[in-house]
């Protein structure tokens, strides 16, 4: 068992002033694997001060210099992919397919942003005005546990490209992954203070960063409830914010869908990352005319999905991240039955053959209406709801009848038809027929799924402020 007792401030690994020790667990075994020493308010303030000192010089770096830094960060992180993957498996229990994607993407995001920067123009002439896009200042990144190093790298890449310095507050539950990544990032040799990393609780370090007057921008990924608190705190000093929050994604299976492709895709889009994903398509909207065959196929597909320790590459669903998350998901499974929904497959408790670990039985509810809490609230576990519809108009109405709007899905054998439906969905992204991720396209949500966008040009502009000079 190890104790992680270093944070990263001003280009150096330092021991936190805070002295709280937070326990780390392997969610597949429930065994304690270590502890992390958490930073406190003073550590957060020291990191902000370091970033503030570094900002004047860093903000004046050229586009060419920032591209070189981004490539250097890629080259520093890429060789550590195996170590990052191993830490994620032990500490988070993510399935192999997700770990592999996350480990590779943690380095590739720096090259994606370098590509964006190559074609980005920071200045233009509008009438008689010279307009330039200026770095905002010191940015704070507050990141969750469900894709720890991917979020850190994505937010850091954007800040570097913009000429902003950054303080990162990762989830304390991901401290092992953070430690591997922090040491990899250090190898890139960026100027001291360009980025700083402070482990700590959200209500301590996260709250300080959200309110600190020297933080110009907060980029947060996590729950809508926490996003509201950050927005309130940030408003006191008019901080710019990017909030990527919760979701309750609809997956519209249209009448003309090829079910051989649509049902396995729907299962993966809903249950990927063990259901611990804000982009999960957890509301499956099914035409009543094809409901029996959809349910039959869905029961078979979900029933064939292997749950277990993700050291086994054939496992598709791993454990919940913690006991409290397991309890939360079990509570929603009980709630769904009390609300009158029926279990197509799954239910309470662990899957058969697993007597330890925070594993959940992949669960599909039928007989669901869109007013039920299981259809409206983000469960963040491997639980799907099937909601039938009479016609396409009703399907679109149900899909949009939600407080969220992060990512939606459409399945159809006619691409033009699918695009026409996609155009009517109130969602930041719409994925047709399981299309792959596009790293340069904007990502973010409508309604209570957030404010602003990440990735590519739209993400970069969120770290910049336009200034007009009239002569």
Alpha carbon distance 22, 13 (integer Å): 19
Q: Write out the H or E segment, with its range, that includes residue 469.
A: strand 464-470
Query: Other CB atoms closer than 10 Å to residue 393's CB: what's the count?
Result: 10
Residue 178 · residue 186 · CB < 8 Å: no
- Give 465's DSSP letter: E
Residue 463 · residue 162 · CB < 8 Å: yes
DSSP letters, 233-288, are HHHTTT-EEEEE-----EEEE-TT--HHHHHHHHHHHHHGGGG--TT---EEEEEG
End-to-end CA distance of the chain: 65
Cα dist. 319→86, 99, 162, 281 in Å? 16, 14, 37, 19
Which residues fall within 8 angstroms of residue 278, CB to CB, at 6 or more apart?
146, 221, 244, 245, 246, 247, 378, 406, 407, 449
**Among the listed residues 220, 195, 152, the one whose alpha carbon sits nearest the alpha carbon of residue 11:** 195
Alpha carbon distance 181, 455 (integer Å): 20
Alpha carbon distance 362, 373 (integer Å): 18
Catalytic residue among 278, 385, 426, 454: 278
For residue 379, which phi and psi values (nearest 5 degrees)?
A: -85, -35
Alpha carbon distance 201, 208 (integer Å): 10
**164 labelled catalytic:** no
Catalytic residue among 90, 172, 208, 244: 244
β-pairing, 21-26 with 31-37?
A: antiparallel
Residue 405 · residue 445 · CB < 8 Å: yes
**278 labelled catalytic:** yes
Q: List, by residue number, the catalytic residues.
A: 244, 278
């Amino acid at each position: 068992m190890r104790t992680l007792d270093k944070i990263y401030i001003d280009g150096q690994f330092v021991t936190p002033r805070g002295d709280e020790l937070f326990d780390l667990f392997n969610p597949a075994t429930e065994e304690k694997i270590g502890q992390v020493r958490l930073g406190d308010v003073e550590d957060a303030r020291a990191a902000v001060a370091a970033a503030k000192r570094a900002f004047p010089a860093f903000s004046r770096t050229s586009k060419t210099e920032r591209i070189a830094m981004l490539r250097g960060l890629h080259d520093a992180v890429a060789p550590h992919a195996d170590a990052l993957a191993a830490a994620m498996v032990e500490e988070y229990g993510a399935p192999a397919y997700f770990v592999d994607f996350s480990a590779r993407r943690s380095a590739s995001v720096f090259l994606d942003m370098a590509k964006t920067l190559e074609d980005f123009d920071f200045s233009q002439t509008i009438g008689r005005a010279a307009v330039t896009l200026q770095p905002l200042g010191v940015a704070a990144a507050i990141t969750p546990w469900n894709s720890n190093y991917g979020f850190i790298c994505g937010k850091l890449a954007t800040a570097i490209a913009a000429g902003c310095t950054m303080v990162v507050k990762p989830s304390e539950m991901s401290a092992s992954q953070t430690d591997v990544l922090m040491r990899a990032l250090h190898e890139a040799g960026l100027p001291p203070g360009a980025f700083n990393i402070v482990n700590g609780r959200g209500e301590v370090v996260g709250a300080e960063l959200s309110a600190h007057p020297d933080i110009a921008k907060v980029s947060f990924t996590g729950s809508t409830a926490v996003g509201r608190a950050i927005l309130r705190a940030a408003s006191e000093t008019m901080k710019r914010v990017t909030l990527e929050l919760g979701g309750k994604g609809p997956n519209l299976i249209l009448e003309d869908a090829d079910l051989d492709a649509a049902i396995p895709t729907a299962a993966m889009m809903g249950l990927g990352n063990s259901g611990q994903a804000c982009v999960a398509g957890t509301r499956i909207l099914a035409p009543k005319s094809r409901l029996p065959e959809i349910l039959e196929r869905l029961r078979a597909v979900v029933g064939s999905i292997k749950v277990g320790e993700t050291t086994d590459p054939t496992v598709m669903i791993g454990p919940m991240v913690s006991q409290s998350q397991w309890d939360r998901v079990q509570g929603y499974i009980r709630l769904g039955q009390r609300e009158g929904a029926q279990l197509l497959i799954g239910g309470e408790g662990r899957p058969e053959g697993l007597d330890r670990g925070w594993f959940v039985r992949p669960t599909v509810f039928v007989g669901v209406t869109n007013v039920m809490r299981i259809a409206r609230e983000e469960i963040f576990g491997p639980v799907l709801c099937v909601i039938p519809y009479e016609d396409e108009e009703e399907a679109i109405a149900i899909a949009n009848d939600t407080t969220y709007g992060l990512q939606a899905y459409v399945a159809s054998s006619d691409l033009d038809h699918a695009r026409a439906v996609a155009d009517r969905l109130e969602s930041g992204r719409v994925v047709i027929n399981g299309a792959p991720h596009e790293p340069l396209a904007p990502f973010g949500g409508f309604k209570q799924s957030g404010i602003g966008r990440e990735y590519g040009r739209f993400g970069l502009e969120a770290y910049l402020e336009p200034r007009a000079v009239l002569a």
